Amino acid sequence: MPVITTIDDLKRLHERRVPRMFYDYAESGSWTEQTFRENTTDFEQIRLRQRVAVDMSGRSTKTQMIGQDVILEPARKAHQVVVGY
């Protein structure tokens, strides 16, 4: 499996693995492409802070959805892999 560290890595993988028409649609949008351009511009303005070496021992994947307590299972599994419990 290739190492994926950026959105561009995902785009390259996506381009190789899906039919061309699906790739072109996902990378351009439909008809006037106005919403696609606006979304692309908006996402380019967002800056995510990378956090490494953060103490995860006190973290929880518990939350509430429609008034019910739930544990986010994929996040819990990922937490077990990273933290080891």
List pLDDT tens digits, range 26-74.
Answer: 888 777 788 888 888 998 898 877 777 777 788 777 888 899 888 777 6
84 lies in some domain: yes
29 lies in some domain: yes
| pLDDT attached to residue 70 | 85
| pLDDT attached to residue 84 | 55
Query: By the 8 A CB rule, do 22 and 29 touch?
Result: no
52 lies in some domain: no
85 lies in some domain: yes
Q: Do 39 and 63 belong to one domain?
A: no
Number of compact structural domains in the chain: 2
Question: Shortest CA distance to 82 belongs to which of 60, 50, 56, 62?
Answer: 56
Q: In 41-51, which positions are buried (b, 16+ CB within 10 angstroms) versus exposed (e)?
A: eeeeeeeeeee
65 lies in some domain: yes
53 lies in some domain: no
Residues with Cβ within 8 Å of 13's Cβ and at least 6 positions away in sequence, in order, are 2, 4
Phi/psi at 64 (5° precision): -125, 135
| pLDDT attached to residue 19 | 93
83 lies in some domain: yes
Domain of residue 62: give its range: 58-85
pTM over 0.75: no
